[in-house]
Amino acid sequence: MAVREAMEPPRNYAEPDPRVDLGGDDFSRKLVILARLCGMGVERSMVDVEDFIPDELKELPVEAFLERMHELDPEFQGRIQKANSGGCVCWYLGRADLVNESYTVGFEEISMGDPISRAMESDNVVTLSPRGWRRPVTVIGPGSGPPETVTGLISGLFRVRDVLRG
C-alpha cells in the first residue's frame, strides 16, 4: 500500500507526517513500551532503526516531503518484488530479543507460512518465543488509530501473560 493511501480516509493508518512512520520513530517507541512491560530497562536510543528517509528529505515541510515521497518508491518496490519472488512478503517489524537485549525496527522478508504474514495491513502483531516452548505465541489485533493501538497492545499482552502463566 502506498504511504499516501495509508494517510487518507477511510484508512488514516499513517501519521499526518509519514516520516514519523517511515523513520521508525513511532514503531520504536511502541517497541520500547512493550519491552519495558516485559521488565527490560530499554531506552529509545538502544533500538537499531532502519530509517527509510534520505537526509535531504528529512527537514522539508510536510507538504514538500509528500510531493517528493515518490522518490522512495523504487527502493520499496524492489524490496517487495525480491521478497515476493522468494515466496515471502515484506513487513516492517520490530524485534526485541530480551535474552540478548537487542532491539531492532526495520523491513524483513517473512515466509508465507509465518503467522505474521497473515496479518491485515493495519494489525499489530506480537510474537513471543518463550524458552522451552516448541512454537512461538502470536497475538494479532487491530492497530490503526490511538484507541485501537493501545487497547490492542494491552489486551494482547494480557492474553499472552495469561497463556504464559498457564
Listed residue (118, 120, 14) closest to 62, CA to CA = 14
Q: Which residue is catalytic, options 29, 30, 95, 118?
A: 30
Return d(Cα 73, Cα 154) in angstroms, integer: 34
Q: Which residue has the cell 537485549?
A: 101
Return d(Cα 21, Cα 6) in angstroms, integer: 11
Contacts of 92 (CB under 8 A, 6+ apart): 27, 105, 106, 107, 108
- For residue 22, count CB atoms less than 10 angstroms from its CB and return exposed for 0-12, middle for 13-18, buried for 19 or more: buried
Residue 58 designated active-site: no
Active site (catalytic) residues:
30
